[in-house]
A and B are shown apart, each in its own frame.
Chain A
């Protein structure tokens, strides 16, 4: 059975999408000859040429703005923002145009654009290289926002994002780029808008996404010693959110924990807890807990472990909600 890193799986997704559709373009900073700082675009320029895979000046707003213009004349752009913290110069193009264009034009123009963003922390990076920008985009109507947790689903989600008629913010967990997963790459399966149960369990449910899914699985394993059966849900799609699955899992287990790297206040956990209260209040056996990054700027490398939700913090939260 084949073994894939997330970086290699995303690379293959780009390659396959470009082979399937000659209108797909890949561009961004250092994505050509270098193959991207995380090598996600490696070999694509050599295979498809400089017209379809090209380096850009350091101009994130211009990159997203040009993608919008290219879409008007029928080109599908998959652009790379080199790091989460470098996405912010493009914020106006993303929020004021990319998200709203279809609505403003009463559906006459779609923008099938994918903005790939190496995201989140966990790689001992410098400041501005470990941000969790998802709430900005989830809060912006017109965007779809996805975050894979591993290689196989990363391939699937990227293929689906490229095929999607709406703009998709594609958040790639940097900390998982080199993590390996065994299996075959498949474009079919759960789509954007669908969460996945990645570990069955009946005592409580843990909701997460991105790099934190692996830690949640570890924590769920750790609490088995206490006789706790924790279900783990990989949200995958942060917008649209799979509220039906979230509500069902909350109802079935009555106890829930939400885990993300982003700061707690108005992080995705706030929305998930609100949905659980709206949809499953009568089934709750314990207050829902959030295990998150703190409401501070992302930590320097030496304090990263104190910032990120650790397996211990997650396991402790699981124990609290299951013993409540």
Chain B
């Protein structure tokens, strides 16, 4: 695959090679329409990501964390979940969010500075709040998984996290709890090579997926830029979880092509050469090549996807720009279910009452 450090070691599970040729059993149980849908979602995601970068540069969003390069890892995994399953993001899972049906305009309230990490309804979407405290969402996903199991619900919960998160205590506490209780959880690590400026090799010496053995759960390393492989390993983990087989740790090898956020200057710590090398492993190009070669899609479908995505993103852009700052009342409305009298007085003071 590639020579860069974070992807060295164990060869990841892969179905489609970087040049688009099949190297494994690509019959993963998806019909042609679903196979096309994976490409459509990745194209939409990238369009939206690039639009968000533009919106930030234009002052319409606050700091934005781009996910370019990670579309297959997010779309493939989110697509593998069923409607009753839950997913818990970090702050870089916009692609997963749209696959799970989260309204992108509401999601972008977060990056517009309109409201905090849960602008959408996490229960209705079964998509946890955008989570900045590193690795903490893993424990939330495990709690949901425990609760689903106790209720006998045929569902699981997936937590996204990164290579940097795998250094945090909450990763270990969450993984261990999931294993001890046999919770139907999936710990989905997107190892994108960089935790802001620190490369994975300075974050951890071993391979992240191998830690699964220590926790007593299955672990798998997958090519995170191969959407079909990601879909398959995630679906297998979900099926195992739902049938009482407990949690799985997945390490998806991918790459953060952009900066950590729009506030970051990646040229201070990594070479353009590395970025360009990873661009040759582009997940969308790889899947498009395979999809067309396998006869499931043609040029017209791809250009249709591009046009549809452009129109969709245009609408989102308009709606984001039209989003007004919320009223001051919002500061006070939801801190407590039953606001204390002292807080009511502060509210009146703040509102000039």
Contacts and interface: CB of A to CB of B under 8 A. Distances in A.
Interface of A: 51, 56-57, 59, 61-62, 64-75, 89, 92-93, 96-97, 100-110, 141-142, 144, 164-166, 193, 239-241, 243-244
B144 interface: yes
A104 B117 contact: yes
Interface stretch (B73-81, B200-208, B334-342): B334-342
Chain B interface, DSSP helix/strand/loop, else mixed? helix
Contacts of B333: 106-107
Contact of B136 (A96, A102, A141, A244): A96
B188 to A, nearest CB: 16
Contact of A62 (B129, B153, B170, B342): B170
B180 A57 contact: yes
Contact of B177 (A59, A71, A239, A241): A59
A97 B133 contact: yes
Contacts of A89: 169
A94 to B, nearest CB: 11
B140 A108 contact: no
Given A62-B173, A65-B170, A100-B116, A165 B337 contact: yes
Contact of B338 (A61, A103, A105, A166): A166
A68 B142 CA distance: 10
A165 B333 CA distance: 15
Contact of B335 (A69, A92, A103): A103
23 contacts: A57-B173, A57-B176, A61-B170, A62-B176, A65-B142, A65-B143, A65-B170, A68-B143, A69-B140, A70-B147, A72-B147, A73-B148, A74-B147, A93-B170, A96-B136, A102-B335, A104-B129, A106-B330, A107-B337, A109-B122, A165-B337, A193-B341, A240-B342
Interface of B: 86, 115-119, 121-123, 128-129, 133, 136, 138-148, 150-151, 153, 157, 169-170, 173-174, 176-177, 180, 330, 333-338, 340-343
Given A66-B146, A243-B342, A141 B118 contact: no
B116 A193 contact: no
A41 B96 CA distance: 41
A21 B308 CA distance: 50
B144 A73 contact: yes
3 closest Cβ contacts across the A-B interface? Answer: A69-B143, A65-B139, A62-B173
A250 to B, nearest CB: 16
A93 B136 CA distance: 7
B118 A166 contact: no
Contact of B123 (A51, A65, A92, A109): A109
B140 to A, nearest CB: 4
